[in-house]
Amino acid sequence: MKLRWVNTVLEPDENFANGDLWESVRSLERPGRLDPCACCSPVISILNNAMNVTDEELCDVSYWKYKSEMPPEPCDRKRLFVNAKIFTVDEGFSVVSALAIEDGKIVATGDGSILKEEHQDAELIDCQGRTILPGFVEPHMHFLPIATIGKFEDVGPFRYPSFDDALTRLRELAEAADADQWIMARQFDPSLQEGPGQLTRQMLDTVSTTAPVFVYNASLHFAYCNSRALAVAGIDKHTPDQPGSSFGREQDGTPNGVLQGGRVMSLVVRHNPAQQDYDLAEACIEVCHRANRVGITTFCDQGTGLSRGVKELEMYQALAESRRMTTRLRYSLSYALADQWDQQSVQYGDGDEFVRATGWKIVSDGSNQGLSGLQREPYLFSEECGVAYVEADSLKEMVLDRATKGWPMVVHANGDQAIDNVLDAFEVAFDQGLMTNTPWRIEHCSILHDEQIVRMRKMNLSPSFLIGHVYYWGKAMRDTIFGEVKASLLDRTAACEENGIRWTLHSDEPVTEMGPLRCIENAVTRKLWREPESTLASHECIDVKTAIRAMTIDAAWQCHSDHEIGSLEVGKCADFVVLGKDPVKVAADEISQIQVLETWMNGQCVFSSSDDG
């Protein structure tokens, strides 16, 4: 049995900025392992440092206003929505036919005929029998990383199932681009896309021999480029590897286009002049708009500080003050910058209903699909048990350190041993009466045993499940990663529900794409993407209403915001989504296909399908 320990606490700003310390951490992992854990990739900070925009500009509200389109519609108008099927998702999951809003808040719910009499001064909106839910809450994503790479073309497996499909799309982009324009893409994943195993320069040379082509692996720890990109960067067989970062090579030493680690990726991508002019403000606003298009009105950034350091908080506030933010933002600070956060005197609950600090994030292990989630027993067909990014004793110290300061903990743990370690650390704080400002969270919480569920219930802990693990990687978990018995312990939504544990669903974008209706369907059906006639652990399927709660009120509670969002009740924020069909009534495997017609945040329509291209 083999186990590897990695300590990920970062210190000097200059090391963080250039990615050196990140690479020293990542180099302790198994070389060549495709670990799809993008949140701790050095690439995001490297790309941000290549941009011409300064932190000072990004923290100035005028920068965001300048990038805006039209001023948002005033939200003080009184409106009455009638002739709708409105799931309030209150304690009794009440269904009403009408909803009145004013000044960005809900002022009444109930029967349409009664509310019409009581609110005769309101603008009347006939919903024509459509379904309204509370705005979806995405409890785990990575805001600035998504914005940083968001403009690159997505050639991942969920759009292009094979190498050939992805290469065809890249050729289309090259044909439409200028002769020397860099073709930038992301999300390529050879573990899920049918093909030979690696994307080499020879394959990318079929896209273009005159334009540089650069494709990020979904993990952001690998990338692939064509011969032209290597030539522009002046890289050949004499170019040495970098510490903790290397070029894939052919037998004679010539780079084959596979780039492992941030340092060698940086040697290539820094020659792309377009990166210097990357419009981060526009990209951030587009992330908000894209969230609105799938019905999200609030999302939680898990790992704030890992893109541009402590200045991110000022950026968030500037974005909110610009009045261009069309989603609410909650965030968990990254422990990697603990000393710097302490110097900023950031406290739990800082902010307002638009932007607020709600947690403290620690990454304790890797990912199961990357064979780096920390396991009790070795992986199937392997002698290795994964990677502990933080030693068990250090994790206890880190948790106690933040618990004494009043922070709710948010700890990433995929493997069952990692979950053991987190529970041990949390138990120390619990026994000392330090578990305040609950809920405390275990992120992903992927492989979960019965006795761990008992411990979680005792401490009132709350897991958030990356339900795409079941849909996208479930077949691999069953057949090549864990075997059928252990794979059945993946994302145990029903078991947690039966034991009175509140839980949520998340996308972890950029790992999987934001899509609450897709998450709901995945949790209800537990079908497998690569084997659609099969399910993984069907006894863990849950009903639609329970899944809706997981993406609304329970997610709001988990993000310490259920007093203001998550359900459609009087006094709460007027955040809701209008759907083309009722998710409770349609076939379970059609939920993800329901059209989002409108998304409303703070009493404003921030997305309408009738206006969307």
One-letter identity of residue 481: I
Q: Supply φ then ψ for residue 25, to 5 degrees.
A: -70, -55
Q: Which residues contact 14 (CB under 8 A, 6 or more apart)?
A: none
Integer Cα distance of 173 and 196 in angstroms = 23
User: What's the pLDDT band for 67 if we cut at 50, 70, 90?
Assistant: low
Q: DSSP code of 193?
A: S
Q: Say yes or no to pLDDT of 430 above 60.
A: yes
Q: Which residue has the higher pLDDT, 33 or 84?
A: 84
Compare 109 and 198 and report the one with higher pLDDT.
109
Residue range 102-107: mean pLDDT, rounded: 97
Q: Does 275 score more than 70 pLDDT? A: yes
Confidence class for position 611, pLDDT limits 50, 70, 90: confident
Whether residue 54 is predicted with pLDDT greater than 90 in this model: the reply is no
Mean pLDDT, residues 421-437 taken together = 97
- Within the chain, all domains assigned CATH 3.20.20.140 are found at 280-562
User: What pLDDT, on a 0 to 100 scale, did the predictor assign at position 42?
Assistant: 63
Place of tokens 């939504």: 493
178: alpha, beta or left, given left = phi > 0 and alpha = psi -120 to 50?
A: beta
**pLDDT > 90 in the chain, percent:** 77
Ranges in the chain annotated CATH 3.10.310.70: 152-273
For residue range 215-257, what is the model confidence (pLDDT) as tens digits?
999 888 889 999 999 999 999 999 999 988 899 999 999 999 9
With bands split at pLDDT 50, 70 and 90, how would you rate the model's confidence at 291? very high
CATH placement of domain 280-562: 3.20.20.140
Question: Which pLDDT belongs to residue 308?
Answer: 87
What is the pLDDT averaged over residues 530-554? Answer: 98
Q: Do 476 and 373 form a contact (C-beta atoms < 8 A)? A: no
pLDDT surpasses 50 at 71: no
| 247-251, 305-309, 533-537, 603-607: range with lowest mean pLDDT | 305-309
Pick the more confident residue, 601 or 12. 601
Q: Quickly state the pLDDT bin for 280 (edges 50, 70, 90).
A: confident
Residue 274 pLDDT exceeds 90: no
Report domain 152-273's class. alpha beta
**Rounded average pLDDT over 148-157:** 92
What is the arithmetic mean of pLDDT over 25-32?
34
Q: Which residue has the higher pLDDT, 27 or 391?
A: 391
The mean predicted confidence, pLDDT, of the chain is 90
| pTM assigned to the model | 0.90
Of 563, 465, 379, 424, whose CA–CA distance to 140 is shortest? 465
Of residues 315 and 441, more confidence is placed in 441
Give the pLDDT band (50/70/90) at residue 417. very high
Q: Residues with Cβ < 8 Å from 479, sequence gap 6 or more?
A: none
Tell me whether residue 104 is exposed, middle or buried, using C-beta atoms within 10 angstroms of its C-beta: 0 to 12, 13 to 18, 19 or more.
middle
